[in-house]
Amino acid sequence: MFPVFRSPAARVLCCAALTCMALPTLAAVSTTTNVSGLVLAQSGGPVADGDYALTFRIYGGEKEAKPAWKEGPLVVTVKGGQFSLALGAEVALTAAVLGALPEAWLGVTVGNDPELPRKPMLAAPSAIRAAVAEGLECSGCIGAGHLDPKALAGYVKAGDLQAFAKTADLSDYVKAASLSPVAASGNYSDLTGTPALSDVAKTGAFADLTAIPAMAKVGVACGTGLVVKGIKADGSLDCVAGGVTAASLPADGLNEVSNGLLTTQFTDSAASASAPIAIADFNGAGTLDKIDVPDFGLATGLTVNIAISNSDVAKVRVDLYDPTGAKTTVYDGEKTGKQLTLKLDGPGQKALDPWVGKNPKGTWQIVVADLSNNGGGKDGAVDSWSVQVQTLSSKKVAASGALQLMVTDAAPIACNPGHFGAMYASPKEAAILVCNGKEWVPIVLAQVGSQDNPAASCKDVLTKAPLSKDGDYWLKSSGGPAKYFCDMTTDGGGWTRIALENTADATGWSDGTLTDANVGGAATKVHGVWGTGGGSAKTFDFKAIPHTQARVKGRYYAIDSWDNEGNGAQVHVDGALKFAATKAYSSAGSGAGWVTASFSPAPWGNNSGPNGYWNIEAAMGLLDHQAGSLTLDFKTGIDQDKSDESFAFSHVQVWIR
């Protein structure tokens, strides 16, 4: 029979057993509670079917004035007077709310009516328990001390077992009655061929326990030689044998672990320098040839390749001799035809197998005999033969792809003798830095003589890049990086051009007089024309470009007649006379470096005779020079006015190295 609760509206709330349920505790903590067993009635029977506005409150006692929780009004569908719903859909029911209540009473209000008599909630909402369970996030948090001693009846503690049990993993308790007499004593000597369990627990090595799966070593994640494959359903590690270690890799395994990008396996070859070699017919002694195989290292395999041509290879015999003199007949007429190709390699080669693992350094020989009688001719030849040695090096590594160094602007380690040869790449310096045992030395990656990597001089460019061609290069100078032309061929190359006048340029010269001339049929300009006491000088600044030599090019013109004046033509370098020549009218137009020239307008004096110039570079040669500048002064020793005798110069060039 349902208890009846009356209200001013003649409604009653009946509850045979008010039960509360939550969502499964394996999910997140529930915030709702299902209630059932409720009946809404009025005098004479259940209320009419339909929707009712109900408000729900939960109190800590039947007479408690203030509710601990309230929700509603909620529209609830009632059928046959009965209804059920999930409390907490709008206002969450939490462990913090319900867990603190000594008991729980449910009060219901219909519409604006007074609250119906409260009914006890006969089942504690399981969300309270779920919240407690959710707070336990570790395994092993609940120990024996949390359990009722009665629950451990028939069990023993690890400390009660013998010494062998203390070294084993006894995370779970076992009943004492389940232990065999062997376990009680810890003595496994009567188990023939089986190691003591305690020893197994110490090492984790189960290899000698046939068909027993590998177990984790006590106190560590997985035992020796074991790796983690996954996690089992109970949370324990799934350990399996295997794993790659340095010891487990084969000696030639570098290419496998590097995706084929690195290898320590090499093949070196030594070939005959005498081939092709004619083979004499009907000569049982045969034709001999030798190959001196150098020290390639210990062989992991050998290959001998031999190519022979003959009128009939079925009449040919080939003997191979190794460095010890051991002979092996590797071919004795087994085939027919005119071409024979032998490739001796792989296991089973009597002549080669003994050398695997040894150094095949020494003299290898073949003797090829043609046993056919073709009149004593030579209708066959050893076309080629070679010995290939496969080695596994312990001294070098070959890369089949780009080798990427560590990229950093700061040295990753200190440079000291112990790190000699260490390298890294610096974007800041655009260089690879190598430790020389004392400091990091940059190997600049920008082209030497480029704007990003200016050189000290043209000689510096040629030293660092010996294949450099004539052309413009960027050099360091006192005024900053600048482009200079470099002569990389003349007299060994490495010359930096400081000045170039393709004709005559008055800029910087003490006398800037220029005269039109015609030399070899081409119009040009010259400095001058001057007579007694004439000349012009200019100082060339080398902008701090280092050098030890200089050379000067230029044309020195003899105009009109020079009557054998001593040193009629003069060139001074830094005040010292470096070029001097005398020109007589009778020999005008002759001699080394003399070129015919005429001047327009016509020079002073007799202009009917030939005129010309000297190439002063050939006469001056190379000059020792280290100063930061060079002063070039063209003068004359003639003793007459320019209207009678005169000179001029042009096409000046200055180079340093």
Q: Is a pLDDT exceeding 90 seen at residue 428?
A: no
Instruction: State pLDDT tens for residues 355-406.
Output: 999 999 999 999 999 988 776 678 899 999 999 999 988 788 999 889 899 9
Classified by CATH at the fold level, domain 11-134 comes out as Immunoglobulin-like (2.60.40)
The CATH homologous superfamily for domain 267-392 is Galactose-binding domain-like (2.60.120.260)
Query: Which residue type occupies 198?
Result: S
Q: What is the C-alpha end-to-end distance of the chain, expressed in Å? A: 123
pLDDT on residue 205: 54
Looking at residue 190, what is its pLDDT? 45
Q: What is the average pLDDT value for the chain, to the nearest integer? A: 79
Note the pLDDT of residue 4.
Answer: 32
Bridge partner residues of 40 (DSSP):
13
- Whether pLDDT at 654 is above 80: yes
Stronger pLDDT, 140 or 235, i.e. the higher one: 235
State residue 427 phi and psi, 5-degree precision: -65, -35
pLDDT at 616: 87
Identical fold at 267-392 and 498-656? yes
So what's the pLDDT on residue 490? Answer: 95
pLDDT for 21 equals: 42
Burial 259-271 (b: 16+ CB within 10 A, else e): eeebbbebeeebe
Q: Give the span between the Cα atoms of 461 and 481, in whole angstroms.
A: 14
pLDDT for 16 beyond 50: no
- One-letter amino acid for residue 592 of the chain: A
Q: Which residue has the higher pLDDT, 276 or 429?
A: 276
Instruction: Give residue 396's pLDDT.
Output: 85
Residue 43: CB partners within 8 Å, gap ≥ 6? Answer: 6, 10
DSSP calls for 203-236: H---TTSTTPPP-PPTTSSS-TTEEEEEE-TTS-
What mean pLDDT comes out for the span 2-14? 41
Among 92-101, 116-125, 392-401, 538-547, the range of highest mean pLDDT: 538-547
Q: What is the pLDDT of residue 291?
A: 97
Between the CA atoms of 246, 247, 253 and 256, what dihedral angle is there, to the nearest 10 degrees?
-50
The percent of residues above 70 in pLDDT, for the chain, comes to 72
Check residue 250 and give its pLDDT: 74
Q: Which CATH number fits domain 498-656: 3.90.1720, 2.60.120, 3.30.420, 1.10.3470?
A: 2.60.120
Strands (E), 236-338: 237-241, 262-263, 265-271, 277-279, 287-293, 299-309, 316-321, 327-332
From residue 316, alpha-carbon distances to 283, 335, 385, 412 in Å are 10, 9, 15, 65
- More confidently predicted of 159 and 68: 68
Which stretches within 71-190 are classed as H helix? 95-98, 126-134, 163-166, 181-185
Predicted pLDDT at 368: 96
- Does the pLDDT at position 42 exceed 90? no
> How far, in Å, CA of 292 to CA of 362, rounded?
6
Which range is least confidently modeled, 1-5, 16-20, 156-160, 426-430?
Answer: 1-5
Query: Which range, 180-194, 489-503, 615-629, has the best average confidence (pLDDT)?
Result: 489-503
Mean pLDDT of 249-278: 88
Please tell me whether residue 418 adopts helix, strand or coil conformation. Answer: helix
Q: Across residues 438-444, what is the average pLDDT?
A: 88
Give the per-residue pLDDT at 476.
96
Domain ranges of the chain: 11-134, 267-392, 404-444, 498-656
Helices H, strands E: what count in the chain?
A: 8, 38
Task: Give the highest mean pLDDT range of 45-54, 92-101, 407-416.
Answer: 407-416
Q: Which of 255-264, 311-320, 441-450, 638-647 has the highest mean pLDDT?
A: 311-320
**Which of 96-105, 106-115, 168-177: highest mean pLDDT?**
106-115
The residue among 603, 607, 567, 566 whose CA lies nearest residue 588 is 607
For the segment 24-31, the average pLDDT, to the nearest whole number, is 46
Grade residue 1 by pLDDT with cuts at 50, 70 and 90. very low
The pLDDT of residue 641 is 85
Q: Give the pLDDT of residue 290.
A: 96
User: Between residues 140 and 252, which one has the greater pLDDT?
Assistant: 252
Q: Is the pLDDT of residue 172 over 60?
A: no
Average pLDDT of the segment spanning 559-578: 84
- Band (pLDDT 50/70/90 cuts) for residue 24 is very low
